[in-house]
A and B are shown apart, each in its own frame.
Chain A
């Protein structure tokens, strides 16, 4: 026992180091496992407030670009609005719409913190659980996929950006329906890779890649990007480099997607897991 105390006395500095380092590792591991209660995260209210103040200033400086993007979107939506079509039909058929049931709801949010230059990039939004945001919801911008919600606090939420080493989104080549998954390559914020597209799939540069319904996070057909380069990886798969449609260096407003039928689908799919 005496020896034990002596050892502790002699190496107390190093033991303290190990203890604190252990705490760090605990925090790190907790941070990497998705959706767990956490001691600290960017969704922390105080940090969120600091970033709101910062982005108030930054947003002001970006007003020009934001305005342009929003007015472009407005123009596009206006074009699709029924008011801008000439009514060609001479017989009005009224459809009581029980065929289509709303599955996704959109919650608008402002980006108050964002990074693209790290290997694991995160985005902070100014809406949180009070506005109905929950972990695992998809996030898109007016141009395409942005990421998935990781944590929420009452007024803020953090998003795992597509530019994250652990991010994976199931995707489909719009033209012919071959599916694969999109992962970031870790270098440029403009490009990502599409994996698992079979070698016999007929694709060409410029083809559009959109989300599939496999994950239940994104609705079908949200744009991810366009094929930029095609190579081969191994014997059975193609290696595809894709130009992302979202400009991550310039996103200010995003939509968070709420899948109303997610719980229903998850419980059904959980039954499969139980059988295994």
Chain B
């Protein structure tokens, strides 16, 4: 239990750090400018324990979003998008639950859930998060098609990073055990 808390704290700081100081600084420019911005930090929310208290989950989502907002000068934007995945996560996990329900020790990662289930889980939440994020950010500024294109391409970038990080950490675990 304590180990879980420490692990999650560590993951929180690491992911925010990567998001703010590495991913937010990528400026590709040219025709693909703005289309490939990954938001890897929501992996932290995806990987929170499966049996976490729903209200606590909302608070954590809010704080996670707010931390990223603080560094991006976009107060409330990420927090709002994160709250939506906090709202949806419990019901969506129930929806894709195996028939006998989740074991409390299950880890919500590629290894624990199986690659295909994890991909479905991650992509749905990532898509929702990005859609809301871009809706708030651009409002009436971009046209609808452009907005959807932004959401899709950025989601794919985020998902690729999530899968890569999963594969990297997976190997480490095997080496240790």
Which A residues contact B (CB, under 8 angstroms)?
12-14, 16-17, 20-21, 23-28, 30-31, 38-42, 44, 47, 50-51, 54, 58, 114-120, 122, 124, 158, 165, 186-190, 249
Contacts and interface: CB of A to CB of B under 8 A. Distances in A.
Given A40-B66, A120-B137, 13 more contacts: A20-B59, A20-B62, A23-B62, A23-B79, A25-B76, A28-B77, A31-B75, A114-B27, A116-B29, A124-B73, A165-B138, A188-B33, A189-B33
A62 to B, nearest CB: 12
Contacts of B164: none
Interface of B: 20-21, 24-31, 33-34, 37, 54-55, 58-59, 62, 65-66, 69-77, 79-80, 83, 86-87, 136-138, 141-142
Given A27-B76, A117-B28, A13 B70 contact: no
Contacts of A158: 73
B54 A120 contact: no
A28 B62 CA distance: 14
Most A Cβ at <10 Å: residue of B55, B71, B73:
B73
B34 A27 contact: no
B87 A17 contact: yes
Contact of A40 (B37, B75, B142): B75
23 contacts: A13-B55, A20-B59, A24-B76, A24-B83, A25-B76, A25-B80, A28-B75, A38-B75, A39-B75, A40-B69, A40-B70, A54-B25, A117-B37, A118-B72, A119-B34, A119-B137, A119-B138, A124-B73, A165-B138, A165-B141, A186-B142, A189-B33, A249-B27
B86 A47 contact: no
Most A Cβ at <10 Å: residue of B26, B27, B83:
B27
Given A187-B33, A249-B29, A26 B76 contact: yes
A47 B142 contact: no
**Shortest Cβ-Cβ A-B pairs, 7 listed:** A27-B76, A42-B73, A24-B80, A28-B76, A24-B76, A27-B75, A165-B141
A25 B80 CA distance: 8
A31 B96 CA distance: 38
Given A28-B75, A117-B34, A20 B83 contact: yes
A12 B87 CA distance: 12
A155 to B, nearest CB: 16
Nearest to A43: B73
Contacts of B136: 28
A193 B136 CA distance: 23
A57 to B, nearest CB: 10
A41 B29 contact: no
Contact of A30 (B27, B75, B141): B75
Contact of A42 (B27, B31, B72, B138): B72
A166 B85 CA distance: 28
A16 B69 contact: no
Contacts of A50: 20-21, 71
Nearest to A51: B71
B76 A31 contact: yes
B55 A16 contact: yes
A69 B140 CA distance: 37
Contact of B83 (A21, A41, A122): A21
A61 to B, nearest CB: 12
A186 B141 contact: yes
A55 to B, nearest CB: 10
